[in-house]
Amino acid sequence: MKKLSIYALLAALIISTSGMDAMARAGGGGSFGSRGGRTWSAPPMTRTAPFAARPFDRSYTPRTPPSAARPWGAQRPMGAPGMGFARRNPLMTGFLGGMLGAGLFGMLSGHGFFGGVGGMGSLLGVIIQLFLLFIVVRWAVRLFTRNGAPVQGQYNGVTPPRNEAAPGPYGFSSNATPGFGSQNVTISAEDYQTFQRLLVDVQAAWSAQNVQALSTMATPEMTSYFNQQLTDYASRGARNVTSNVTFLNGDLAEAWREGRLVYATVAMRYSLIDITTDQMGHVIDGSQTEPQIVTELWSFVRADGRGNWVLSAIQQAGG
């Protein structure tokens, strides 16, 4: 009995001095994975996770050069212009500029608005000029109005008003703040139920050290991280076990589309029993009776219109 106690003490000493996070759970309490083109952009804050998420410690997605992306968490200042009509339509801008310049020249020289581009002296010509001018002005007004209005579902730099949280599907808040540039992607009640199920199933597969099961619920990148962490535990003669995983509440941070892939990042608050044991099953750290409360942002991805949601990233809230 004394030998077992000494063994457990030595194992605990090895783990504590190695810097291993005892409250590890699936993911080791870190931030890693990929969120497509938004990997290095902070997900919007939500009621469940009201503080900025911790940037990724590890990701297969290379960092975008500073010239091509805003810094982490940075947003375009309110009222700052984006890519304007002139940059998107240089040929049309030149054509309109030429028409307006010629018209003004014609008016100043006494030949009418279209006098600078050939002139129309008859009454019929004046009527045609006015009609064409009306069409051009109406077209220009519609074009500039359309380019200046925000697209439905996009974040235009102004934080939408936050009402009291309304009950959402399966414990998720139904009025989460949309993220910057989010496309109008609908997340259904069935999707929210899938996110909750994956939360529980991933933790269960992690505790069972079942990498094959994890590979069916996570991207290859996430599976590789889980495998590395489990191998690290095994090399130290330890094992992390989670149980009684209970989803408490959550909400959608953002959902968007990239090509044929759809991404969703959700903030989830849940409780669980999180312990670390040695090879003999003795508890080295953690409590078998006191649950831990955790808030994390989990990102999921699936093929648009088909396929299953799989875990693509985990980020710690309030980093």
Instruction: List all residues 6 or more positions away from 144 whose beta carbon is below 8 Å from its beta carbon.
Output: 85
φ/ψ (deg, to 5) at 113: -60, -40
Assigned domain for 132 exists: yes
More confident site: 305 or 271:
271
Same domain, 6 and 113: no
Report the CATH number that the domain containing residue 46 is assigned in CATH. 3.10.450.240
Q: Residue 126: what pLDDT?
A: 56
Count other Cβ atoms within 10 Å, centred on residue 308. Answer: 11
Q: Are residues 142 and 183 in the same domain?
A: no
72 found inside a domain:
no
HSE on the CB side for 196, CA within 13 Å?
19
Do 140 and 97 belong together in one domain? Answer: yes
Spatial CB neighbours of 186, under 8 Å, sequence gap ≥ 6: 255
Task: For residues 138 and 126, give the distance between their C-alpha atoms in angstroms, rounded to a whole number.
Answer: 18
Domain count, the chain: 2
Residues 113 and 171 placed together within one structural domain of the fold: no
Rounded to an integer, the average pLDDT of 173-180 is: 47
Q: Which residues pair with 46 in a beta bridge?
A: none
For residues 172 and 249, is the Cβ–Cβ distance under 8 A?
yes
159 inside domain: no
| Mean per-residue pLDDT, 98-108 | 44
Asked whether residue 246 is assigned to any structural domain, the reply reads yes
User: What mean pLDDT is predicted for residues 242-265?
Assistant: 95
Same domain? For 32 and 138 the reply is no
The reply to whether 77 falls in a domain is no
- Write the pLDDT tens digit of every residue in 193-235: 999 999 999 999 999 999 999 999 999 999 999 999 999 999 9
Do 128 and 181 have their domain in common?
Answer: no
Shortest CA distance to 266 belongs to which of 193, 195, 316? Answer: 195
The H-or-E segment that residue 220 falls in is helix 220-235
Confidence label for 140 from pLDDT (cuts 50, 70 and 90):
low
Domain enclosing residue 97, as ranges: 85-148
Q: Please check whether residues 57 and 140 belong to one and the same domain.
A: no
pLDDT, mean over the chain: 73
Question: Does residue 196 share a domain with residue 309?
Answer: yes
DSSP 54: P
* 71 in any annotated domain: no
Do residues 108 and 134 both lie within one domain?
Answer: yes
The percent of residues above 90 in pLDDT, for the chain, comes to: 49
Residue 173 lies in a domain: yes
pLDDT at 141: 56
Integer Cα distance of 8 and 246 in angstroms: 29
Q: Are residues 213 and 240 in the same domain?
A: yes
Hey, what's the torsion of the CAs at 56, 263, 228, 286, to 10 degrees? 80
Burial class of residue 4, CB neighbours in 10 A (0-12, 13-18, 19+): exposed
Residue 209 and residue 117 in one domain = no
pLDDT in tens, 42-99: 999 999 999 999 999 999 999 865 444 444 444 444 444 444 444 444 434 443 444 4
Does any domain span residue 76?
no
